[in-house]
Amino acid sequence: MIQFEGYALEVVLTTANAAAQAWYGYEQGIIAGILVSERFLDTFPQIRTPVIEGTFTSIFSLGNLVGCLLAALFGDKLGRKNTLRVGAAISSIGAILQFSATAFEQLMLGRVINGLGNGIYARERGMTSATCGVFQAESVRGSRRGKLSVIVVLHNVVFYMIASWLTLGTFFLDNSGQWRIPFALQLVPAIVLIIFLFLVPESPRWLMLKDRHEEAIESLRRYLGKGLTADDDVVQNEYKSIRGALEIERQSKISFKQVILCRDRSSHLKRMLLGMGGQFMQQMGGINALNYYFSIILQENLGMTALMARVLTGVNATTYCISTAMAFWIIERAGRRFLMLSGLGLQGFAYIMVAISVALLATAPQQWGAVAITFLFFYYAAFGCTWGMVPWIYQAEINSLAMRVRGAAAATSMNWLFGFVCTQFTSVGIRNLGYRFYIIFAVLNVVFLPVVYFLYPETANRTLEDLDAYFDRDSGHTTIIRIGDKVAKQHKRPQEAIDAERRRIEMTTEAEVFDRKLSGISHVEEVPK
């Protein structure tokens, strides 16, 4: 089998992880179209009831939640690649149950199983989506981690766009293919994922965690560049830095109970809560209230025809995709904090304008309807290049190696839990609350601004080991970020992080020299004559 290295290997790894992300975006896109599909509603008339519609939509998130928890329990044992494989297999079973469904119970079971598998590989975002983010963060070079992670998450939005236009195309079919075809095509990302996983090595950091050091060095050699040898300085320095951080962590290793009680050196609980908080704010900022129900909002609140609602959904998905793609160029230049803060401000403003427009719709339907649609598009544009990306990258970066899988699973579980909450009450809210429904999300976006400013340190231009040093109990950094704390806020890599890395490399080098000296000492026993 061909052994990819350097840039080529990054492409293969990114493709595999992108396929895991693509599944979720595609699922959101097809559900938005399927919910207004007459052939689908004729087959499953139960979904015409708003509460059942909400349950059908949100039950996928519950499956994801369970998948995340399973990934947290077994992910470190299986490894990153095997976790993704298991998630893809389970999701495929769910997809098959959905597109072949003839009974409502089979359809619902398929959505739960589909969500379960997606939760497993989504842990790194669910089982699949959670694991892909961790796998990407642990394997690529720190200077490219943000951009490559953007490419991975971007496929979520690309496939949301593809799905939106696909359901517009199948809208003109006068048979069950109107909804069965979109459900069946969910299998494509799973097949791509499984194939490309055969071409990439396991995460080097996971291999070190399991004391498989020779395999870890070989994995690092391939990921760090083309034509490198195991003895090259770039490989050895990266290996020593990671191993040094891991040894420090192991020396202070404590139980999960002690982590919860904040008795650890590495601030594991604080870091896990930051990842969870990012996912909570992403969901409660209102994205899934729109993603699953965009066509219904256009029809129910703004009076659009079914065809026009589908066309506008496709156009919006396209602009959303373009906005999300912009994050590739700005994610490292702007940093995580700036994008989170600016995104909240813009999203809050968009929801305020949508609320005003819907409230005044009766006075001038055409004019205020156009204003509402404009700011719905504006919300997606703001979200795509800020909160659409940052929480997934942040949760993979912020946790320590020992807690990365559990931390990512906890964060992604938070996403699915509150994704369930949003999708469950949105169906009823858009029909009964009118403009007040949008005020809820406007207020939440504004409230989240000080939370991010005072609690979330910058993670851009840091190695994963830099963040371990930042959160060390003796680092001097407090939970509440001080106004004058430049290290927590600055975009440039701090000097204290550079100094800490040098000390880790020196410590590991000294330990290796000491081990070699010990191995060279032969035991001499004097035998009496």
Q: How far does Cα 273 stand from its chain's mean position? A: 15
Q: What is the pLDDT of residues 367-412, one digit of tens each?
A: 898 999 999 999 999 998 899 888 888 887 888 766 776 777 788 7
Reply yes or no: is the peptide bond before residue 177 cis, omega within 30 of 0.
no
Which value, in Å, is the radius of gyration of the alpha carbons in the chain?
24
What per-residue confidence (pLDDT) applies to 280? 93
DSSP string, 249-303: HHHT---HHHHHTT-SSS-HHHHHHHHHHHHHHHHHTTHHHHHTTHHHHHHHTT-
What per-residue confidence (pLDDT) applies to 296? 84
Question: In angstroms, what CA-CA distances link 355 with 5, 251, 375, 378, 446?
Answer: 52, 54, 10, 14, 15
What per-residue confidence (pLDDT) applies to 504? 73
Q: What are the sequence ranges of the domains in the chain? A: 6-210+266-455
What per-residue confidence (pLDDT) applies to 24? 77
**CATH placement of domain 6-210+266-455:** 1.20.1250.20
CA distance 364 to 502: 66
What per-residue confidence (pLDDT) applies to 528? 46
What per-residue confidence (pLDDT) applies to 529? 46
What per-residue confidence (pLDDT) applies to 254? 62
Where the chain has pLDDT below 70, the residues are 1, 72, 75-76, 120-134, 136-137, 140-147, 149, 248-259, 261-263, 401-402, 405, 510-529
Reported pTM: 0.72
